[in-house]
Amino acid sequence: MSAPAVSSLRQSSSASQAFEIRPFDAPLGAEILGIDLGTPLNAEDFARVHQAHLDHGVLVFRDQHITPEQQIAFSRRFGELQIHVLKQFLLAGHPEIFIISNIVENGQPIGLGDAGKFWHSDLSYKELPSLGSMLYAQELPEEGGDTLFAQQQLAYETLPAELRAAIDGRRAAHSYIARYADEVFEGIQRPRLTPAQLAEVKAVVHPVVRTHPETGRKGLFVNENFTTHILDIPEDESRQILAELFAHSARPEFVYRHQWQPRDMVFWDNRALIHLATGCPRHLRRRMHRTTIQGDAPF
Ligand code: OGA
Ligand code: MN
């Protein structure tokens, strides 16, 4: 990955970059053209990007040529970074970068093969789930490998009144290990979690409907990957309600499908969206670098 050395050395630049924000013809998402994330953004540019992220939920920065250090530096502008529990898949020397990849080298997977074949919001199983994630394409397959995003505020606003009433004020449990073993990727099991890793991912409780801390908009905050049950109601009722919520939350009218282009850097809002990896055929190589920004406790 080559990046102009001079831009990483520059601490701040007062000149604005002339970038364009183009919303997609979709329920969410926008592409950003003509920006270099390797150059520290000045306050005005950062404010534009920040606002666009809140407005569109997914930002696609095209054609980025940046180093891991530069990805980390840009990510940190939004908050503290989270280190993934699967330590074996962190980039050497840069634990802030989590490798998502189906590539196996010397019999060992170099990254998490399937980062999410079930709909999810990253790290919803933590007390402080992630604000957003940045996924940077390093190597893309010739086919497949798309990522889907679904707008959960729209999902909440369009819930049938009865269902909305049933979840009003409710809380739900989230667990990393609930479906961990179900995520068999092309016949490859996920690595076994060690006792130390298990201790890091104790179940947590979050509101079923969360208020976005920056926009104030309410959205659904449950997902089929990590949400196990709604508290304080009978188990069969919880199961039924969650099944209805999961079905509603991924309706096509809330979804944007991202078809990756080389050197895309995609930044999504985990407080407003859920997402899903569609996967790619086993013989094709896919490798991505993810940074994960810590968010607030949901309320
Ligand atoms: C992730 C994720 C989807 C993909 O990185 O958090 O869910 O398509 N990735 O790789
Ligand atoms: Mn994910």
Triad 176, 182, 185: Cα angle to 5°: 110
Judged against a pLDDT cut of 80, whether residue 208 lies above it is answered with yes
The predicted structure's pLDDT at residue 114: 76
CA-135 nearest atom, ligand 1: 5
Q: Which ligand gives the minimal distance to the CA of 134? A: 1
The model's pLDDT over 124-144, given as tens digits with 9 standing for 90+, comes to 999 999 999 999 999 999 999
Residue 208 CA, ligand 2 centroid: distance in Å: 19
One-letter amino acid at 211 equals T
Residue 282: the pLDDT is 87
> Which of 275, 280, 284 has the most ligand 1 atoms within 8 A of CB, as the residue to mutate?
275
* All domains of the chain in start order, with CATH: 19-294 (3.60.130.10)
Question: Maximum Cα–Cα distance for the chain, whole Å?
Answer: 61
Separation CA 28–CA 218 (nearest Å): 16
The mean pLDDT value of the chain amounts to: 92
Q: What is the pLDDT of residue 116?
A: 79
Task: Tell me the pairing of strands 255-258 and 265-269.
Answer: unpaired
Residue nearest to atom 4 of ligand 1 (CA): 277
pTM exceeding 0.75:
yes
- The bridge status of strand 20-23 relative to strand 273-277 is unpaired
Residue 122 has pLDDT above 70, yes or no: yes
Over residues 158-172, the pLDDT tens digits come to 999 999 999 999 999
Which residues have CB less than 5 Å away from ligand 2 (the ion)?
Answer: 116, 122
Give the residue, 269 or 191, on which the prediction is more confident. 269
Instruction: Kindly give the distance from the C-alpha atom of residue 277 to the centroid of ligand 1, in angstroms, as a whole number.
Output: 5
Q: How far apart are the CA of 7 and the centre of ligand 2, in A?
A: 30
With a cut of 80, say whether residue 37 has pLDDT above it. yes
> How many A from CA of 290 to the centre of ligand 2?
9
Q: Give residue 9's pLDDT.
A: 47
Q: Whose CA is nearest to atom 9 of ligand 1?
A: 115
Atom of ligand 1 nearest to the CA of 288: 10
Q: What is the pLDDT of residues 79-121, one digit of tens each?
A: 999 999 899 999 999 999 999 999 999 989 999 987 778 999 9
Q: Average pLDDT in the 47-63 region? A: 98
Q: Would you give the distance in Å from CA 281 to the centre of its chain? A: 22
Q: Mean pLDDT over residues 264-279, rounded?
A: 97
Q: Does 276 contact ligand 1 (Cβ within 6 A)?
A: no
- Please give the structure tokens belonging to residue 170: 């409710």
Q: Please tell me whether residue 119 adopts helix, strand or coil conformation.
A: coil
Predicted local distance difference test score (pLDDT) of residue 1: 44
Amino acid at 6: V
Question: How large is the average pLDDT for residues 232-246?
Answer: 97
Cα within 13 Å of Cα(46), Cβ side: 15
Query: Which pLDDT does position 195 carry in this prediction?
Result: 82
Helices (H), the chain: 5-9, 43-56, 68-76, 152-157, 161-167, 195-200, 235-249
- pLDDT value at residue 182: 66
Cβ pair 196, 130 in contact under 8 A: no
Structure tokens at 38: 């390797």
Which ligand ends up closest to the CA of 125?
2
Please identify every residue annotated as catalytic: 120, 122, 275, 290
The whole-number average pLDDT for the span 193-202 is 82
> What digits encode the pLDDT tens for the residues 7-28?
444 455 579 999 999 999 999 9
Q: Residue 187: which pLDDT band, with cuts at 50, 70 and 90?
A: low
SS3 of residue 142 by DSSP: coil
Cα 260 to Cα 242: distance, rounded to the nearest angstrom: 31
HSE, side-chain direction, 13 A CA sphere, residue 145: 23
- Of residues 155 and 193, more confidence is placed in 155
Q: In the chain, pLDDT over 90 holds for what percent of residues?
A: 81
Nearest atom of ligand 1 to the alpha carbon of 146: 8
